[in-house]
Amino acid sequence: MTMNDDSTASISLGELRFSWRDWDPRALGAEIEWTHPGLAVLPGGDIVVPDQTTRELVRLGPDGREVKRVALDATNAHGLTATADGQVWVADTGMHVKVEKGEVIKADTPGSVFSVGLDGQPGLSLRRPDHPGYVGGPYLPTSVAVADAGSGGSGDIWVADGYGMALVHRYDASGEYLLTLDGEEGGGRFDRAHCVFVDWRGAEPRLLVTDRSNHRIGVYDLEGTFIKLLGVGELRMPSAFAVAGDLLYVAELWSRLAVYDPDDRLIGYLGDGELAWEEEAWPNVQTEDGVVRRPVQPGRFNAPHGFDAGPDGTLYVAEWSLGGRIVELAPTTG
Protein backbone atom coordinates (compact mmCIF):
# COMPACT_ATOMS: atom_id res chain seq x y z
CA MET A 1 0.00 0.00 0.00
CA THR A 2 1.35 3.43 -0.95
CA MET A 3 0.08 6.55 0.81
CA ASN A 4 -0.29 9.72 -1.28
CA ASP A 5 -1.98 12.28 1.03
CA ASP A 6 -4.48 12.31 3.87
CA SER A 7 -7.39 10.97 1.77
CA THR A 8 -5.83 8.79 -0.94
CA ALA A 9 -3.78 5.62 -1.28
CA SER A 10 -2.88 2.94 -3.81
CA ILE A 11 -3.79 -0.67 -3.07
CA SER A 12 -3.20 -3.84 -5.06
CA LEU A 13 -3.82 -7.58 -5.21
CA GLY A 14 -1.67 -9.36 -7.75
CA GLU A 15 -2.30 -7.61 -11.06
CA LEU A 16 -5.30 -5.74 -9.64
CA ARG A 17 -4.40 -2.16 -8.80
CA PHE A 18 -6.65 0.58 -7.48
CA SER A 19 -6.38 4.23 -6.60
CA TRP A 20 -8.17 4.77 -3.28
CA ARG A 21 -9.96 8.04 -2.56
CA ASP A 22 -12.10 8.97 0.44
CA TRP A 23 -15.08 11.13 -0.53
CA ASP A 24 -16.82 13.72 1.59
CA PRO A 25 -19.11 11.57 3.81
CA ARG A 26 -21.63 14.32 4.55
CA ALA A 27 -23.93 12.97 1.83
CA LEU A 28 -24.71 10.14 4.28
CA GLY A 29 -25.95 12.42 7.07
CA ALA A 30 -24.80 14.31 10.14
CA GLU A 31 -21.80 13.23 12.20
CA ILE A 32 -24.08 12.08 15.02
CA GLU A 33 -25.85 9.59 12.73
CA TRP A 34 -24.78 5.97 13.09
CA THR A 35 -25.06 5.55 9.33
CA HIS A 36 -25.96 2.12 8.00
CA PRO A 37 -26.16 2.97 4.31
CA GLY A 38 -26.94 1.32 1.04
CA LEU A 39 -25.22 2.45 -2.15
CA ALA A 40 -26.07 1.87 -5.81
CA VAL A 41 -24.58 2.88 -9.15
CA LEU A 42 -27.05 4.13 -11.76
CA PRO A 43 -26.80 2.88 -15.36
CA GLY A 44 -25.10 6.12 -16.46
CA GLY A 45 -22.45 5.91 -13.74
CA ASP A 46 -23.81 8.29 -11.09
CA ILE A 47 -24.05 7.00 -7.52
CA VAL A 48 -26.98 7.17 -5.09
CA VAL A 49 -26.72 7.03 -1.29
CA PRO A 50 -29.19 7.89 1.49
CA ASP A 51 -28.84 10.92 3.74
CA GLN A 52 -30.07 9.41 6.99
CA THR A 53 -30.50 12.80 8.69
CA THR A 54 -32.61 14.57 6.07
CA ARG A 55 -34.20 11.40 4.70
CA GLU A 56 -33.21 12.14 1.14
CA LEU A 57 -31.82 10.12 -1.74
CA VAL A 58 -28.59 11.84 -2.75
CA ARG A 59 -27.27 11.53 -6.30
CA LEU A 60 -23.51 11.96 -6.70
CA GLY A 61 -21.47 12.19 -9.88
CA PRO A 62 -18.57 9.77 -10.48
CA ASP A 63 -16.31 12.53 -9.13
CA GLY A 64 -18.17 12.53 -5.81
CA ARG A 65 -19.88 15.88 -6.30
CA GLU A 66 -23.53 16.20 -5.39
CA VAL A 67 -25.91 16.33 -8.36
CA LYS A 68 -29.40 16.18 -6.87
CA ARG A 69 -31.47 15.32 -3.80
CA VAL A 70 -35.04 14.00 -3.57
CA ALA A 71 -37.17 13.11 -0.57
CA LEU A 72 -36.93 9.48 0.53
CA ASP A 73 -39.55 8.08 2.90
CA ALA A 74 -37.16 5.72 4.68
CA THR A 75 -35.85 5.59 8.23
CA ASN A 76 -32.75 3.64 7.21
CA ALA A 77 -32.20 2.93 3.50
CA HIS A 78 -29.98 0.00 4.36
CA GLY A 79 -30.07 -1.58 0.89
CA LEU A 80 -30.25 0.21 -2.48
CA THR A 81 -30.47 -1.35 -5.95
CA ALA A 82 -30.76 0.57 -9.23
CA THR A 83 -32.46 -0.87 -12.32
CA ALA A 84 -32.08 -0.06 -16.00
CA ASP A 85 -35.46 1.73 -16.11
CA GLY A 86 -34.32 4.44 -13.68
CA GLN A 87 -35.88 3.02 -10.53
CA VAL A 88 -34.08 2.67 -7.20
CA TRP A 89 -35.23 -0.13 -4.93
CA VAL A 90 -34.96 0.51 -1.20
CA ALA A 91 -34.80 -1.95 1.69
CA ASP A 92 -35.64 0.08 4.80
CA THR A 93 -34.91 -1.73 8.05
CA GLY A 94 -36.78 0.91 10.03
CA MET A 95 -33.89 0.98 12.53
CA HIS A 96 -32.53 4.43 13.46
CA VAL A 97 -29.45 4.93 15.65
CA LYS A 98 -27.60 8.12 16.51
CA VAL A 99 -25.20 9.31 19.20
CA GLU A 100 -25.79 12.49 21.19
CA LYS A 101 -23.23 13.62 23.76
CA GLY A 102 -21.66 10.16 23.63
CA GLU A 103 -24.92 8.32 24.34
CA VAL A 104 -26.39 5.85 21.83
CA ILE A 105 -30.06 6.57 21.06
CA LYS A 106 -32.21 4.07 19.18
CA ALA A 107 -35.69 4.38 17.65
CA ASP A 108 -37.40 1.87 15.37
CA THR A 109 -40.22 2.05 12.81
CA PRO A 110 -41.70 -0.78 10.68
CA GLY A 111 -39.46 -2.13 7.92
CA SER A 112 -40.48 -1.79 4.27
CA VAL A 113 -39.39 -2.40 0.67
CA PHE A 114 -40.31 -0.08 -2.18
CA SER A 115 -39.05 1.55 -5.36
CA VAL A 116 -38.66 5.23 -6.13
CA GLY A 117 -37.84 7.17 -9.28
CA LEU A 118 -34.84 9.46 -9.55
CA ASP A 119 -37.30 12.37 -9.36
CA GLY A 120 -38.60 11.05 -6.05
CA GLN A 121 -41.83 9.67 -7.53
CA PRO A 122 -42.98 6.62 -5.51
CA GLY A 123 -43.08 3.32 -7.37
CA LEU A 124 -44.01 -0.22 -6.33
CA SER A 125 -44.22 -1.33 -2.69
CA LEU A 126 -43.86 -4.94 -1.57
CA ARG A 127 -45.93 -6.32 1.28
CA ARG A 128 -44.38 -8.54 3.89
CA PRO A 129 -45.29 -12.13 3.04
CA ASP A 130 -47.73 -14.15 5.08
CA HIS A 131 -45.06 -16.56 6.22
CA PRO A 132 -45.11 -18.61 9.45
CA GLY A 133 -41.68 -17.23 10.34
CA TYR A 134 -43.36 -13.92 11.15
CA VAL A 135 -45.62 -15.23 13.89
CA GLY A 136 -44.25 -13.06 16.66
CA GLY A 137 -41.10 -12.26 14.67
CA PRO A 138 -39.88 -8.95 13.19
CA TYR A 139 -39.58 -7.96 9.54
CA LEU A 140 -36.36 -5.96 9.04
CA PRO A 141 -35.49 -6.11 5.32
CA THR A 142 -31.88 -5.35 4.43
CA SER A 143 -31.44 -5.86 0.67
CA VAL A 144 -33.22 -6.03 -2.70
CA ALA A 145 -32.10 -7.64 -5.97
CA VAL A 146 -33.91 -7.49 -9.30
CA ALA A 147 -33.65 -9.94 -12.20
CA ASP A 148 -33.67 -6.85 -14.39
CA ALA A 149 -35.57 -7.14 -17.66
CA GLY A 150 -32.98 -4.78 -19.12
CA SER A 151 -30.40 -7.55 -18.61
CA GLY A 152 -32.69 -10.26 -20.02
CA GLY A 153 -34.28 -11.25 -16.72
CA SER A 154 -37.87 -11.88 -15.72
CA GLY A 155 -38.18 -8.76 -13.59
CA ASP A 156 -38.54 -10.88 -10.43
CA ILE A 157 -37.62 -9.12 -7.20
CA TRP A 158 -35.73 -10.79 -4.34
CA VAL A 159 -35.78 -9.39 -0.79
CA ALA A 160 -33.46 -10.34 2.06
CA ASP A 161 -34.91 -10.03 5.57
CA GLY A 162 -31.44 -10.06 7.05
CA TYR A 163 -32.08 -8.46 10.43
CA GLY A 164 -35.50 -10.00 11.00
CA MET A 165 -36.15 -13.69 10.47
CA ALA A 166 -33.21 -14.43 8.10
CA LEU A 167 -35.45 -15.23 5.14
CA VAL A 168 -35.22 -14.43 1.41
CA HIS A 169 -38.46 -13.72 -0.45
CA ARG A 170 -39.19 -13.83 -4.19
CA TYR A 171 -41.79 -11.61 -5.89
CA ASP A 172 -42.75 -11.30 -9.54
CA ALA A 173 -42.36 -8.03 -11.45
CA SER A 174 -45.83 -6.89 -10.39
CA GLY A 175 -45.05 -7.40 -6.70
CA GLU A 176 -46.90 -10.68 -6.20
CA TYR A 177 -45.26 -12.91 -3.60
CA LEU A 178 -43.99 -16.23 -5.00
CA LEU A 179 -41.82 -18.12 -2.51
CA THR A 180 -39.41 -17.97 0.43
CA LEU A 181 -35.93 -19.41 0.94
CA ASP A 182 -34.64 -20.07 4.45
CA GLY A 183 -31.40 -21.92 3.65
CA GLU A 184 -32.72 -25.33 4.63
CA GLU A 185 -33.20 -26.14 0.94
CA GLY A 186 -29.41 -25.90 0.57
CA GLY A 187 -26.49 -25.56 2.96
CA GLY A 188 -28.51 -25.10 6.15
CA ARG A 189 -30.60 -22.41 7.84
CA PHE A 190 -29.54 -18.84 7.04
CA ASP A 191 -28.09 -16.78 9.87
CA ARG A 192 -28.42 -13.11 8.84
CA ALA A 193 -29.21 -13.36 5.15
CA HIS A 194 -27.87 -9.83 4.77
CA CYS A 195 -27.70 -9.26 1.00
CA VAL A 196 -29.14 -10.69 -2.22
CA PHE A 197 -27.54 -10.10 -5.62
CA VAL A 198 -28.10 -11.29 -9.20
CA ASP A 199 -24.82 -12.39 -10.81
CA TRP A 200 -25.05 -12.22 -14.62
CA ARG A 201 -21.47 -13.25 -15.46
CA GLY A 202 -21.91 -16.90 -16.41
CA ALA A 203 -23.94 -18.76 -18.99
CA GLU A 204 -26.83 -18.85 -16.49
CA PRO A 205 -27.50 -16.01 -14.03
CA ARG A 206 -27.33 -16.83 -10.32
CA LEU A 207 -28.81 -15.48 -7.12
CA LEU A 208 -26.19 -14.92 -4.42
CA VAL A 209 -27.16 -14.68 -0.74
CA THR A 210 -24.74 -13.53 1.96
CA ASP A 211 -25.32 -15.97 4.80
CA ARG A 212 -23.37 -13.53 6.92
CA SER A 213 -23.16 -15.02 10.39
CA ASN A 214 -22.48 -18.45 8.88
CA HIS A 215 -19.52 -16.81 7.06
CA ARG A 216 -20.52 -18.06 3.61
CA ILE A 217 -22.56 -17.38 0.47
CA GLY A 218 -25.51 -19.39 -0.78
CA VAL A 219 -25.69 -19.76 -4.57
CA TYR A 220 -29.08 -20.37 -6.26
CA ASP A 221 -30.54 -20.25 -9.73
CA LEU A 222 -33.18 -17.61 -10.43
CA GLU A 223 -35.98 -20.07 -9.72
CA GLY A 224 -34.67 -20.45 -6.17
CA THR A 225 -33.04 -23.88 -6.61
CA PHE A 226 -29.92 -24.32 -4.49
CA ILE A 227 -26.67 -24.81 -6.40
CA LYS A 228 -23.82 -24.68 -3.86
CA LEU A 229 -22.10 -22.83 -1.03
CA LEU A 230 -19.34 -20.36 -1.79
CA GLY A 231 -16.60 -18.94 0.44
CA VAL A 232 -16.68 -21.55 3.21
CA GLY A 233 -13.53 -21.10 5.28
CA GLU A 234 -12.59 -17.98 3.27
CA LEU A 235 -15.01 -15.29 4.42
CA ARG A 236 -15.24 -13.45 7.72
CA MET A 237 -18.55 -11.60 7.46
CA PRO A 238 -19.87 -11.26 3.86
CA SER A 239 -22.26 -8.35 3.55
CA ALA A 240 -22.63 -7.15 -0.07
CA PHE A 241 -21.56 -7.82 -3.67
CA ALA A 242 -20.29 -6.04 -6.76
CA VAL A 243 -19.19 -7.34 -10.15
CA ALA A 244 -16.52 -5.58 -12.21
CA GLY A 245 -15.46 -7.26 -15.43
CA ASP A 246 -15.42 -11.00 -14.78
CA LEU A 247 -14.57 -10.68 -11.07
CA LEU A 248 -16.89 -10.93 -8.08
CA TYR A 249 -16.10 -8.63 -5.16
CA VAL A 250 -17.55 -9.36 -1.73
CA ALA A 251 -17.71 -6.58 0.87
CA GLU A 252 -16.95 -8.06 4.28
CA LEU A 253 -18.26 -6.08 7.23
CA TRP A 254 -15.14 -7.21 9.07
CA SER A 255 -12.88 -4.73 7.32
CA ARG A 256 -11.99 -5.94 3.82
CA LEU A 257 -13.09 -6.91 0.31
CA ALA A 258 -12.77 -10.50 -0.92
CA VAL A 259 -12.18 -11.10 -4.65
CA TYR A 260 -13.29 -14.19 -6.63
CA ASP A 261 -12.51 -15.22 -10.20
CA PRO A 262 -15.14 -16.44 -12.73
CA ASP A 263 -14.76 -20.01 -11.43
CA ASP A 264 -15.49 -18.92 -7.84
CA ARG A 265 -11.87 -19.33 -6.77
CA LEU A 266 -10.63 -16.88 -4.15
CA ILE A 267 -7.99 -14.52 -5.52
CA GLY A 268 -7.43 -12.70 -2.22
CA TYR A 269 -8.38 -9.65 -0.18
CA LEU A 270 -8.20 -5.87 -0.56
CA GLY A 271 -7.92 -3.12 2.05
CA ASP A 272 -7.70 -5.44 5.04
CA GLY A 273 -8.38 -3.45 8.22
CA GLU A 274 -6.75 -6.08 10.43
CA LEU A 275 -8.63 -6.72 13.69
CA ALA A 276 -10.61 -3.48 14.03
CA TRP A 277 -13.90 -5.35 14.51
CA GLU A 278 -12.58 -6.92 17.73
CA GLU A 279 -12.06 -3.55 19.39
CA GLU A 280 -14.54 -2.09 21.87
CA ALA A 281 -17.51 -0.21 20.38
CA TRP A 282 -16.48 -1.07 16.79
CA PRO A 283 -17.20 0.30 14.20
CA ASN A 284 -16.80 3.34 16.44
CA VAL A 285 -14.65 3.97 19.53
CA GLN A 286 -15.56 4.04 23.22
CA THR A 287 -13.89 6.93 25.05
CA GLU A 288 -14.28 8.52 28.49
CA ASP A 289 -16.76 10.91 26.86
CA GLY A 290 -18.81 8.13 25.30
CA VAL A 291 -19.02 6.65 21.81
CA VAL A 292 -17.25 8.64 19.06
CA ARG A 293 -16.38 8.08 15.41
CA ARG A 294 -13.40 5.82 14.80
CA PRO A 295 -10.54 7.48 12.90
CA VAL A 296 -10.15 6.02 9.41
CA GLN A 297 -7.06 5.37 7.33
CA PRO A 298 -6.95 5.49 3.52
CA GLY A 299 -6.10 2.04 2.16
CA ARG A 300 -7.75 0.21 5.06
CA PHE A 301 -11.42 -0.52 5.49
CA ASN A 302 -13.29 -0.27 8.76
CA ALA A 303 -16.79 -1.68 8.05
CA PRO A 304 -17.69 -2.04 4.33
CA HIS A 305 -21.45 -2.11 3.91
CA GLY A 306 -23.11 -0.48 0.86
CA PHE A 307 -21.30 -1.62 -2.30
CA ASP A 308 -21.51 -1.39 -6.09
CA ALA A 309 -19.36 -1.10 -9.22
CA GLY A 310 -19.44 1.51 -11.97
CA PRO A 311 -19.46 0.78 -15.71
CA ASP A 312 -15.71 1.44 -15.87
CA GLY A 313 -14.92 -1.04 -13.08
CA THR A 314 -14.61 1.56 -10.32
CA LEU A 315 -15.75 0.21 -6.95
CA TYR A 316 -17.74 2.34 -4.53
CA VAL A 317 -18.04 1.44 -0.84
CA ALA A 318 -20.18 3.04 1.89
CA GLU A 319 -19.10 2.12 5.40
CA TRP A 320 -21.15 1.59 8.55
CA SER A 321 -20.14 3.94 11.38
CA LEU A 322 -20.86 7.28 13.01
CA GLY A 323 -20.91 9.82 10.20
CA GLY A 324 -20.25 7.10 7.65
CA ARG A 325 -17.61 6.90 4.94
CA ILE A 326 -17.62 6.70 1.15
CA VAL A 327 -14.63 5.18 -0.63
CA GLU A 328 -13.86 5.15 -4.36
CA LEU A 329 -11.52 2.47 -5.73
CA ALA A 330 -10.61 3.33 -9.34
CA PRO A 331 -8.72 0.67 -11.33
CA THR A 332 -5.24 1.69 -12.47
CA THR A 333 -2.48 0.15 -14.56
CA GLY A 334 1.28 0.00 -14.12
- 119-124's contacts with Cβ under 8 Å and 24+ in sequence apart are 119/70, 120/57, 120/70, 120/71, 120/72, 122/73, 123/87, 124/174, 124/175
Please determine, for residue 49, whether its predicted confidence score (pLDDT) is greater than 90: yes
Closest CA to 253 of 267, 240, 242, 270: 240
> Which of 236-250, 268-282, 292-306 has the weakest average pLDDT?
268-282
In angstroms, the CA 277 to CA 35 distance is 16
Q: What is the average pLDDT across 16-28?
A: 97
pTM: 0.96
Please determine, for residue 315, whether its predicted confidence score (pLDDT) is greater than 90: yes
Interacting residues of 259 by C-beta distance below 8 A, sequence separation 6+: 13, 16, 247, 248, 249, 250, 266, 267, 268, 269, 270
Please determine, for residue 47, whether its predicted confidence score (pLDDT) is greater than 80: yes
Q: Where are the domains of the chain?
A: 13-118+139-331
In angstroms, the CA 166 to CA 251 distance is 19
Query: pLDDT per residue over 209-250, tens digit each?
Result: 999 999 999 999 999 999 999 999 999 999 999 999 999 999
Please determine, for residue 2, whether its predicted confidence score (pLDDT) is greater than 60: no
Q: What is the average pLDDT across 86-97?
A: 95
∠ CA 246-219-35, rounded to 5°: 80
In angstroms, the CA 296 to CA 194 distance is 24
Segment (H or E) for 106: strand 103-108
CATH superfamily name and code, 13-118+139-331 = TolB, C-terminal domain (2.120.10.30)
Residues facing 53 on adjacent strands: none
Q: What is the average pLDDT across 246-267?
A: 98
In angstroms, the CA 36 to CA 78 distance is 6
- C-alpha distances (whole Å) from 166 to each of 74, 89, 209, 212 are 21, 19, 11, 10
Query: pLDDT per residue over 136-148, tens digit each?
Result: 899 999 999 999 9
Contact 140, 161 (CB under 8 A): yes
> Which of 57-66, 160-169, 211-220, 280-289 has the weakest average pLDDT?
280-289
Q: 151 falls in which pLDDT band (50, 70, 90)?
A: confident
Q: In what order do the strands lie in the sheet with 157-161?
A: 143-146, 157-161, 167-171, 177-181
Per-residue b/e over 199-230, b at no fewer than 16 CB within 10 Å? Answer: eeeeeebbbbbbbbebbbbbbbebebebeebb
Q: Is 117 helix (H, G, I), strand (E, B) or coil?
A: strand
pLDDT of residue 230: 98
Q: 6 falls in which pLDDT band (50, 70, 90)?
A: low
| Mean of pLDDT over the chain | 94
pLDDT of residue 334: 58
Q: 160 falls in which pLDDT band (50, 70, 90)?
A: very high
Query: pLDDT per residue over 169-203, tens digit each?
Result: 999 999 999 999 999 999 999 999 999 999 999 99
